[in-house]
Amino acid sequence: MTSFTRWLVPLGVAIALAAVPLFLAPYATTTMTRILVFGLLAASLALLVGITGLPSLGHAAYFGVGAYAGGWFAANVSAQAPLSLLVAAVAGGIAAAATGWVAVRSSGVFFLVLTLAIGEIVHQVVESWESVTGGSNGLYGIPATTVGGAPVDDVAPLYWFVLLAFGVGFAALWLVARSPFGRALRGIHDNESRMRALGYPTSLYKYAVFVIAGTVAGLAGGLLAAQQRLVTPEDLGFTTAALALLAVIIGGAGSLWGACVGAALVIVVRDALGPTLDGHGPLLLGVVFILVVYLMPRGVAGIRLRRRPAEPDVAEPEPVPSGGVRR
């Protein structure tokens, strides 16, 4: 595949996404906005699950922390873009840094349980801290994001604002995955013991990627606050974390763009089809998940890999020359 062809598909997707408000009705455009928000959350989780091999059930905690921080900042300090998004991203990163140093010392099911516990603790803190978060009622009254003094409250401008922020966050994840750091993460995913034997500080690498993923999840949370102008404890609860992990599995755990496709499917089933199924949206999601597991065990992204050989999203770690140990 030539370099031009490799960039042609992403460029076409970007143009199609940018044209969405020009061709879709306001409700469909709003649904696409939610897909972008949830897609960025799923992509940040894919960096942990598919690239590094750290399955998390508490990733929504950093999403929610970012949403509350960005919403509170917009309501009490400034709603000027991109300040609230920066605050949300920093808050998500700080929360991930404060909790990740414990989580990354474990692996496998122990890591999964630890992240679940972290998510539940953050959820309880949010419900108890009523003076800041609004408790079970949530944080409401968040003002519309302003750009140059003008509020971004119409459907189309808000969609383009979210799309731009999504592009920045996704590009950051893609660069991390394609970097030498990302290749080391893939090596940790495949064989952590061997990577330690080669001299890689695997715990430090896992901690770093945990913070990076939490930062991008916080950015996605800031977009949620800007989009729906309301944040509730459910936004960082177990259901949100489980849906994000489901999106990653459906899309293909080793693919960032596959996670976004999985997120789109989850949102469409939950928000578009669910209300028309008399509350049976979760049942349909379960059926979709079973079908994907049996028919597409590598997820949606695996279809491309079966059709033709392709470069993996992240290359394998470079071998260390004989006699030398990388530090």
3-state secondary structure at position 174: helix
> Quick count: other Cβ atoms within 10 Å of Cβ 105?
13
In this prediction the pTM is 0.89
- pLDDT band per the 50, 70, 90 thresholds, residue 162: very high
Provide DSSP, 259-274: HHHHHHHHHIIIIIIG
Higher pLDDT pick, 208 / 281: 208
CA 133 – CA 70 distance, rounded (Å): 12
- Would the pLDDT of 323 be above 70? no
- Cα distances from 259 to residues 135, 166, 181, in angstroms, run 31, 13, 21
What pLDDT is attached to residue 304?
61
pLDDT tens column, 163-176? 999 999 999 999 99
Q: How far is CA 126 from the centre of its chain?
A: 21
Higher pLDDT pick, 322 / 259: 259
Higher pLDDT pick, 220 / 307: 220
pLDDT tens column, 183-225? 999 999 999 999 999 999 999 999 999 999 999 999 999 999 9
pLDDT tens column, 14-71? 999 999 999 999 999 999 999 999 999 999 999 999 899 999 999 999 999 999 999 9
What pLDDT is attached to residue 325?
43
DSSP state for residue 246 in the 8-state scheme: H
- Would the pLDDT of 148 be above 60? yes
What pLDDT is attached to residue 153?
86
What pLDDT is attached to residue 203?
92
What pLDDT is attached to residue 218?
97
- Would the pLDDT of 301 be above 80? no
What pLDDT is attached to residue 220?
97
Provide DSSP, 211-226: HHHHHHHHHHHHHHHH
- Would the pLDDT of 257 be above 70? yes
CA 327 – CA 162 distance, rounded (Å): 40
Q: How far is CA 257 from the centre of its chain?
A: 11
